Amino acid sequence: MKKILTLITLNFVFFSASTQISTDELPVSFNETIGVAIQNRETDLKIMPSLDMARIQQEDERDAQNGLPPRFGFPHAVSFNLLNSGVWTTLPNGDRIWQLSIHCPGALSINLLYDQFWLPEKAKLFLYTDDRKHILGAFTSRNNKGSANDIQGFATGLLYGRTIIL
């Protein structure tokens, strides 16, 4: 039993040390002056398909009968990126902000999984709910995995709401 507890403890320490690194600051778009300029323009809102909850519940019951763990969430495969989605805004100082809103009807929370995630030096990524009550970030180049030639994935934690903004 001691070996198992030690292994679990070591795994916990390892995974805690490799968790998401964030700067724990507010998005620049929350600044009143900048926020007004951004709020007065159209945003790109992506709406995910509604879910057939009766079918999902049947699948979950079948999985439980087969001894599978409960479902965490329902994935939507998308191909959003800086070139095909979102809106760019250039600020008076020359900085640029890219924003994308994602709405998931009926969701309790949203988290994102990135197939490829690479932030250049000085770039910051924030995610927050549309009511601004839940904020993640800033994520920076310190969150990059792999190398520029071998870009790896990334995942963000949960944001509790139906609509989030990147």
**Is residue 66 predicted with pLDDT exceeding 80?**
yes
Residue 19, pLDDT score: 55
What is the dihedral angle through the alpha carbons of 6, 10, 11, 17, rounded to the nearest 10 degrees?
160
The Cα 42–Cα 129 span in angstroms is: 17
The Cα 144–Cα 3 span in angstroms is: 33
Residue 72, pLDDT score: 85
Least confident of 3-12, 14-23, 124-133: 3-12
Once rounded to an integer, what is the mean pLDDT over residues 104-124?
94
Residue 36, pLDDT score: 66
Contact (CB, 8 A) for 86 and 100: yes
**Is residue 55 predicted with pLDDT exceeding 50?**
yes
Average pLDDT score over the chain: 86
What is the pTM (predicted TM-score) of this model?
0.82
Kindly give the pairing relationship between strand 96-99 and strand 125-129.
unpaired
Residue 53, pLDDT score: 87
Angle at 66 between CA 60 and CA 70, to 5 degrees: 40
